Amino acid sequence: MSRADVDAAFAEVAARRQAEDDHMAARRALWRTHHWPERYDRCVTVRGVHVCRRCTWFYSIAFTVAALGLIFGISPWPDAWDWPLVWLLSIPATLEFIGGELGLYRYDARRQAIVTAILAPAVGRGIAVELQDQGSWTFWGPVLVFGTTWFVFAVIGWFRKSGQYSSETSARIPS
């Protein structure tokens, strides 16, 4: 075995260790990103840390709307509109998710932010209504219908390898 072969073997071991270290670091970060490093284009960077873009928009808006409703009694619309708007405002994000899972179009950060910003006030208002009137179908109806829909299409996208989170899609559909 020549010196070059030994150097190449050590370099390969070092590369494998670095890849394992990178994988473990990404795995520890999944709680806030939900994405592996090859999908960090779906994240924003906050103080050097990758955070899921959809979650950043969703939770900040939804919890603000819920808190304003619970603490100050401020609603983004009249109370009589709660039921239809919570349902209707959930549709764009659901259609965007379904299209992404079926591979109908490529990921677009702007589109995702827009549909999430439409969905989040509805969820926030639904949370506020639920916490004031437990067992409210204004909250639980859309959660069951749209949550089940998102889950079903995520599974379909996973098995068809066409979903926005499958590894084959990242090579086939540029982000």
In contact, 113 and 55? CB cutoff 8 Å? no
Q: How confident is the model at residue 36 (pLDDT cuts 50, 70, 90)?
A: low
pLDDT tens digits, residue range 75-114? 999 999 999 999 999 999 999 999 999 989 888 999 999 9
Sketch the domain layout of the chain as residue ranges: 53-172
Q: Collect all residues with Cβ–Cβ distance below 8 Å to 95 and sequence separation of at least 6.
A: 115
Residue type, 173: I
What is the mean pLDDT of the segment spanning 113-138?
94
Which pair of tokens denotes residue 133? 């009137």
Please report how the helices 109-132 and 137-160 are oriented relative to each other, as an axis angle in degrees rounded to 10: 140
Percent of the chain with pLDDT over 70: 79
Is the confidence at residue 169, as pLDDT, over 80?
no
Which pair of tokens denotes residue 40? 């960090």
Nearest alpha carbon to residue 110 among 58, 174, 42, 37: 42
Burial bucket for residue 111 (CB in 10 Å: 0-12, 13-18, 19+): middle
Q: How confident is the model at residue 17 (pLDDT cuts 50, 70, 90)?
A: low
Nearest alpha carbon to residue 63 among 128, 133, 151: 128
Q: List the helix and strand counts (H, then E) for the chain.
A: 7, 2
Query: Mean pLDDT score of the chain, rounded to an integer?
Result: 84
Element (H, E) at 113: helix 109-132
Nearest alpha carbon to residue 125 among 37, 61, 170: 61
Q: Which of 44-48, 80-84, 97-101, 141-145 is least confident?
A: 44-48
pTM of the entire predicted model: 0.74
